[in-house]
Amino acid sequence: MDEDRIAQVIAQLARTILADGVLRWAVENPLALVGIKSRGELLAQRLASEIERQQGAAKIDVGALDITMYRDDLSSARAIMIPRGTDMDFRLDGRPVILVDDVLQSGRSVRAALDAVLDFGRPRIIRLAILVDRGLREFPIAADYVGLKVDAADREQKIVVHLKPTDDEDGVYLT
């Protein structure tokens, strides 16, 4: 996907989220988007902006979740993983929350994110929005909102997501 296609996919994800009757939110319990660091954070910001634009609504709370210490593979990591910090200056209790990430593959990152979110409160409902669903699950986790589904059975192939400003360009590649 190039920059234009990523923007189209984010717009479609926003439309799908706005059409989801389960996520009806009220002023006292507004929707919150929580991106899994690091590219999930960027996607959550873009998705919130697009939802606000399409709905003409007030600003949506967006947080960034660091799942480093919640990962089940932390001890087997080749390199030392340094936490980058969670950035969430709002409460999650009773709110509809959408977790946002760039790629869903094994489900391990999402499982870790669910553990982390629950340490910040008890949302009314949690949904998952993914830019690219790769398949190859190791955990029974499925995204509620999917931008692009890639059926790549070869475990050696990787999905690489580049997003500005972290990267020089916006793009999604199968390598």
- 72-120 pLDDT tens trace: 765 555 555 555 678 889 999 999 999 999 999 999 999 999 999 999 9
pLDDT value for 74: 57
Domain ranges for the chain: 3-18+29-174
CA dist., res. 134 & res. 156, Å (int): 12
For the segment 5-33, what is each residue's pLDDT rounded down to a tens digit?
A: 999 999 999 999 999 988 776 666 789 99
pLDDT at 137: 87
What letter represents residue 27's amino acid?
V
Contact between 31 and 59 under an 8 Å Cβ cutoff? The reply is no
| pLDDT in the model for residue 77 | 53
pLDDT at 26: 63
Q: List Cβ<8 Å contacts ≥24 apart for 165-171.
A: 165/42, 166/38, 166/39, 166/42, 169/3, 170/2, 170/3, 170/6, 170/7, 171/1, 171/2, 171/3, 171/6
| Distance separating alpha carbons of residues 41 and 34, to the nearest angstrom | 7
Secondary structure class of 143 (helix, strand, coil): coil
Q: DSSP secondary-structure letter at 16?
A: H
Per residue in 121-162, pLDDT (tens digit) is 999 999 999 999 998 888 999 999 999 999 867 778 889 999
Domain range 3-18+29-174, its CATH number among 3.40.50.2020, 3.10.20.30, 3.40.50.720, 3.10.20.600: 3.40.50.2020
- The C-alpha atoms of residue 33 and residue 96 are separated, in whole angstroms, by 9
Tens-place pLDDT, residues 29-50: 789 999 999 899 999 999 999 9
**pLDDT at residue 16, rounded to an integer:** 95
Q: Model-level pTM?
A: 0.90
The pLDDT value recorded for residue 155 is: 79
